[in-house]
Structure 1
Amino acid sequence: MSRLPFEFHLALRYLRPKRSLISVIPFTSIVGVMLGVAVLIIVISVMSGFHEMTRQKILGFNAHLKVYQNGAPLRDHERLARIVSSNKAVRAVSPFVMGKVLIETRPAEGAGSALVDAPWLRGIDADLERRVSTLHTNIIAGEFNVRGNGLLVGRQLAQSLRLGVGDRLSVYSTRQLQRMKEGRDKKEEVAIKPDEYTVKGIFDVGYYEYNVSVIVGSLANAQDLYDLGENVHGLMVMLDNPFKVEAVRRELYEALHRGGGEYIVTTWPEENAGLLQAVMVEKSVMFYILFFIMIVAAFGITSVLITFVVQKTREIGVLKALGATSGQVMGVFLSQSLVVGLIGVLGGFGLGWLALAYRNEFLLAMRKLTGFELFPQAIYNLPELPAVIVPSEIILICGGSMLLCVLAGLLPAWYAGRLKPVEALRYE
């Protein structure tokens, strides 16, 4: 005697393969659920990987917190840095200057005309910068050197301006350009000699926006360009745990205001809210679109069970004539949808995990066979396809899919439970 409830035992018997076309239909339903779950797991995990990779790149080049003076440069930044450093959660502090500049290349004679761009100049203290960013580890040509009139240039910017290590640049600050404009408005001759800089290194932090729009120089040179004297634009603050920024921000805000002055403390999620939000929205939209695959698979289960109900109408009549209740008959077909869903979800989880484990090998094989690169490194700046399996997301996908499969069996089960024994036995 089987220990399984007779409804479950009968459901398994109905699903057992037979030599008929109808017996293939449950298999196709299981495959539909399996593929739907696998695709959802693969896509959502890859999107989570992109989100995590983007976050790591932001945290590698940007500070976890930044401290600004309200509407003015930071004065006495060394004293403020000591106050910030006294917080136990702070790992390192470094002053910075950040502003727009106009740069003009100085090509050798016969090497073409000069090229112009307007990137952001980030003035840094080279020694402290090593503690607040990964810039020094991302130099792909030349060296991490901003001594004298040395500059570091992002890879994409260097490519667009045809720059290499050792090339010279003229740099104009916004103040210099403003003086030139004022002189022209007054019809006066204003001769402003730009500062000459030399490209000492080219960096690639793995994020296109930084590589194409930022150059890095010494703090002293940036202070001179913006007539700041000994002042700076702000402090970059690195924490031991970048995900505790809100709590640390409140503590730093209180500590700084006790010392007098109006200060603004910003966090890395705030400064990159647009980018992070875009990635999250993209991930959510992808999830909702792909979840329709599971809804289609659920309709497949419904059609399969309706077919079974029609095929087994006489057997349902016999069951009811022998004393089976409507609830027990419903249980048979609900158990069928449960079994189809369970096998499909488990198979989809296994297939999805396998595809994620060998995703890069698959992409490499496809590139060798077809010559087509699905995720070109030159565009995405990724050595491999990122993927992060988030347990809560996997539970949501598998649990939601199981729920859909069970709900798909409600209508056929309800119809089977309503059949009257006499009408069912007369069914041809």
Structure 2
Amino acid sequence: MYKYLLCWRYLRTRYIALASIISVMLGVATMIVVNSVMAGFSTMMQERLHGTLSDIIVESFSLNGFDNPDEVMAAIEEAVGDDVEALAPSLQLFGYAMIPVGGGEHLTREVQIIGVRPQDRARVSEFAEYLYHQPREGQDQPAPAEPTFHVPDEHRLNTYLGQVYQETEADNPFKDILEQDLENLVPADGMILGFALGTVHRPETGEDMYIAPEGSKVILHFPSAGKTPEAKTGEFTVVSYFKSGMSEYDSMQVFVPIERLQFLRGQDGFVNQIQVKARPGADLEQVAQAIRVKLEQKWPTRFLTSTWEQKQGPLLAAVQVEQNILNILLFFIIAVAGFGILGIFSMIVVEKTKDIGILKALGASDSGIRGIFLAYGLTLGMVGSLVGMTGGLLFVKYINEIEDGLSVITGREVFDDSIYYFPEIPTLVEPMTVAWIVGGTLLIAVAASVWPAQRAARMHPVRALRYE
């Protein structure tokens, strides 16, 4: 019982121990906050990366692609059977987009052109969940859009030429000419434009200015297929926007009808990628391996098969490495607190040498003296860990309010939402992570107490009483 009484007394009277408690508290709180934010970003990033891709991607080594997608999809279904839920072919290539910005000027941007059938694409990924219409008058938020390339009549009729067309009588011979002019002004082929391509974000107001509003004509330039590629051009009308929240996708990708892209390239029926949606619960690695083996048997060295994680492996690995390095660096804060406990306990042993001798003369055992210091170290670790855990979890809970306050104080945004388009800072508290942080802190606190405790336990009572 005397061990606990002494621990409590030292905890109340030894204010120098407060420095160790604060160090432990700050270390635990910082690690919990950093891990929660990193886990939130990582989880959100994985969800969005997976949402833009299907579970498994089969692509040709050549950008020109292959002309037998139905045969390839049949081979995939034969290889994995019921493990496949949906398939969708696509044609991807790089090119340039010319976006009109007024006054006869065009904004030219490098883009990734993706030819798809929107309904098929929506079945193999979260494609439909990332489609939005431009906010109408009186709306604050963009409205969800359907996966379609249909160009509404309102886009044509809202133009000046469209107004003239509506006012022209049906039997007027110029009616057909006006209709042809309308098709040139507003192409019949729709396009889903990457959100960051069609807008400019204004940090000072947090609003997005649409430089390519719905109904705009966008001109795409891309190479044709064959041994001597030629420049090809296609005109499309913006019908909706693709907003995944990943700036590198939203600023690069444009989706167009696959049949129109094939025709413009002179490659009717050609695709260079098959998106595969696996059934829920299927082992993606095994499914991808089965597809890989089957396609290699039928068409050697022609296809590359990978899961969405393998496709995005370098990016996901970079996030994980960054999180691990941060954990190592932040754990040094707790290690510093451990050395503080070691120094404080060493001073206490020297200062209380006579008291230790009295306790041993009264019958205290070596293990009892050792237990005093170990229990004291554990108590310091527990108090610091509990306060740090509480503070860290509260910080995570109110992190967006704290971010707003810091932005007001510093006069600049702490969290720039133009990078990921997250409405707030994503966080994810993982109980196991919190447990190992607290457990590791307690282990360091106890380990730092071992040497002073062992030194005090080995003291001879007579020599200790002679001290001073």
When normalised by structure 2's length, the TM-score is: 0.79
Tell me what 2:306 maps to. Answer: 266
Out of 85, 104, 109, the position equivalent to 2:98 is 104
Q: What residue in structure 2 maps to residue 51 of structure 1? A: 42
Task: Tell me the alpha carbon deviations over residues 110-144 of structure 1, each in whole angstroms, 9 at most, x when there is no partner.
Answer: x2522222211011112212212223232333554
| Letter in structure 1 aligned against 2:85 | R
Cα gap change, 1:180 to 1:105, in 2 (>3 Å): farther
**Pair 193,89 (structure 1): closer, same or farther in 2 beyond 3 Å:** closer
1:165 shift after superposition: 1.6
Give yes or no for the alignment of 1:68 onto 2:59.
yes
Partner of 1:245: 284
Structure 1 residue aligned with 2:423, among 383, 386, 389?
383
Q: Of the candidates 361, 369, 374, which is equivalent to residue 401 of structure 2?
A: 361
Q: Quote the RMSD (CA, aligned, Å).
A: 2.7
- Whether 2:447 is the aligned partner of 1:407: answer yes
Please report how far the alpha carbon of residue 395 of structure 1 lies from its aligned counterpart in structure 2 after TM superposition. 2.7
The one-letter amino acid paired with 2:334 is M
Could you say if the C-alpha distance between residues 241 and 45 of structure 1 is closer, same or farther in structure 2, counting changes exceeding 3 Å?
farther
Listed one character per residue, the Cα deviations across residues 32-54 of structure 1 (whole Å, up to 9, x for unaligned) are 21221111111111101111111
AA paired with 1:118? E
Report whether the alignment pairs 1:12 with 2:7.
Answer: yes
Q: CA deviation at 1:305?
A: 1.4
The aligned runs of 1:54-203 (5 Å cut-off) are 54-71=45-62, 73-85=65-77, 87-108=81-102, 111-142=103-134, 143=145, 144-147=147-150, 148-159=188-199, 162-175=211-224, 194-203=233-242
From 304, 320, 324, the counterpart of 1:280: 320
User: How many Å separate the matches in 2 of 1:180 and 1:315?
Assistant: 91
Shift of 1:374: 1.9
Comparing 202-211 with 145-154, which one deviates more in the overlay? Answer: 145-154
TM-superposed deviation, 1:373: 3.1
Q: How far apart, CA to CA, are the structure 2 residues paired with 1:195 and 1:258? A: 38
The residue type paired with residue 326 of structure 1 is: D
Contact 1:93–1:235, Cα closer than 8 Å, also in 2: yes
Counterpart of 1:184? none
| Structure 2 partner of 1:217 | 256
Mark the runs of 5 or more structure 1 residues left unpaired by the alignment: 182-191
Q: SS where residue 445 of structure 2 aligns? A: helix
Whether the 8 Å CA contact 2:58–2:274 is kept in 1: the answer is yes
Equivalent residue, structure 2, for 1:424 = 464
In the alignment, the residues of structure 2 paired with residue 274 and residue 242 of structure 1 have an alpha-carbon distance, to the nearest angstrom, of 25
C-alpha contact (below 8 Å) 2:197/2:252 kept by paired residues: yes
SS of aligned partner of 1:75: coil
Provide the rounded CA distance (Å) in 2 between the counterparts of 1:284 and 1:274: 15
Structure 1 residue 337: Cα displacement: 0.6
Aligned-pair CA distance for 1:12: 2.4
Q: Is the 8 A contact 2:223 2:232 kept in 1?
A: no
Moved over 6 A (4+): none
Closer/same/farther in 2, CA of residues 195 and 402 from structure 1, 3 Å limit: same
CA distance in 2, matches of 1:402, 1:422: 34
SS of the aligned residue for 1:199 comes to strand
> How many residue pairs align between the two structures?
407
Partners in 2 of 1:247 and 1:327 — Cα distance? Answer: 56
**In 1, are the aligned partners of 2:222 and 2:232 still within 8 Å (CA)?**
no
Change (3 A) 1:180 1:227: closer
Q: Which residue type is aligned with residue 131 of structure 2?
A: I
Question: Could you tell me which residue of structure 2 aligns to residue 324 of structure 1?
Answer: 364
- Counterpart amino acid of residue 116 in structure 2: I
Question: Is the CA contact (8 Å cut-off) linking 1:64 and 1:242 kept in structure 2?
Answer: no
Q: Tell me which amino acid in the other structure corresponds to 2:223.
A: T
Q: Deviations over 1:141-176 (max 9, x none)?
A: 355432442111112122369322222122222228
Say which of 269, 273, 293 aligns to 1:234. Answer: 273
Q: Deviations over 1:305-329 (max 9, x none)?
A: 1232233211101122234343432
SS of 1:103's partner is: strand
Q: 1:137, 1:126 → 2: CA distance?
A: 12
CA distance in 2 between partners of 1:117 and 1:369 (Å): 37
User: Paired residue for 1:189?
Assistant: none
Q: 1:180 to 1:389 in 2, by over 3 A?
A: closer
Cα offset for 1:194? 2.4
> What is the distance in 2 between the residues matched to 1:221 and 1:132?
21
Say if 2:29 is the partner of 1:34. Answer: no
* Shift in Å, 1:267: 1.1
Q: Which moved more, 1:404-413 or 1:392-401?
A: 392-401
For residue 330 of structure 1, give the secondary structure of its aligned residue in structure 2.
helix
Rounded Cα–Cα distance in structure 2 between residues aligned with 1:306 and 1:408: 10
Pick closer, same or farther for the CA change 1:225–1:425 going to 2, 3 Å.
farther
SS of the counterpart of 2:81? coil
The reply on whether 1:294 has 2:334 as its aligned counterpart is yes
Judge which range, 246-255 or 212-221, deviates more.
246-255
Report the 3-state secondary structure (helix = DSSP H, G, I; strand = E; otherwise coil) of the residue aligned with 1:194: strand
